[in-house]
């Protein structure tokens, strides 16, 4: 079922597959925000693990509260 696939998953329950982009909900002193980020090694050969956005900005673990898989990319239907 499509609805089950796109549910928020608290980071206290589970992290996403390493280095796979997901939609995250994060918190800051200005309120909440959404971002696309992945969780895994910070750089090749590193033992340091954490969150990094699609813009290569590191986000502290305590900022991300939940995540969900990204939807499938949009594909425009061709006429005829």
Per-residue pLDDT of 36-69, as tens digits, reads 999 988 877 888 889 998 888 888 878 899 999 9
| Distance separating alpha carbons of residues 50 and 5, to the nearest angstrom | 24
- Asked whether residue 80 is domain-assigned, the answer is no
Residue 78: predicted pLDDT: 82
Q: What is the pLDDT of residue 80?
A: 60
Domain count, the chain: 1
In a domain, 36, yes or no: yes
Q: Domain range holding 60?
A: 2-69
In-domain check, residue 79:
no
User: And the tokens for 29?
Assistant: 């002193």
The whole-angstrom separation of Cα 39 and Cα 6 is 18
pLDDT per position as a tens digit, 19-40:
899 999 998 888 888 999 999 8
């Amino acid at each position: 079922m499509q609805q089950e696939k796109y549910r928020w998953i608290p980071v206290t329950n589970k992290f996403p597959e390493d280095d796979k982009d997901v939609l995250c909900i994060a918190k800051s002193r200005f309120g909440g925000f959404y971002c696309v980020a992945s969780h895994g090694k910070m750089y090749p050969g590193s033992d340091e693990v954490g969150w990094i956005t699609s813009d290569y900005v590191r986000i502290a673990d305590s900022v991300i509260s939940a995540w969900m898989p990204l939807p499938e990319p949009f594909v425009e239907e061709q006429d005829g």
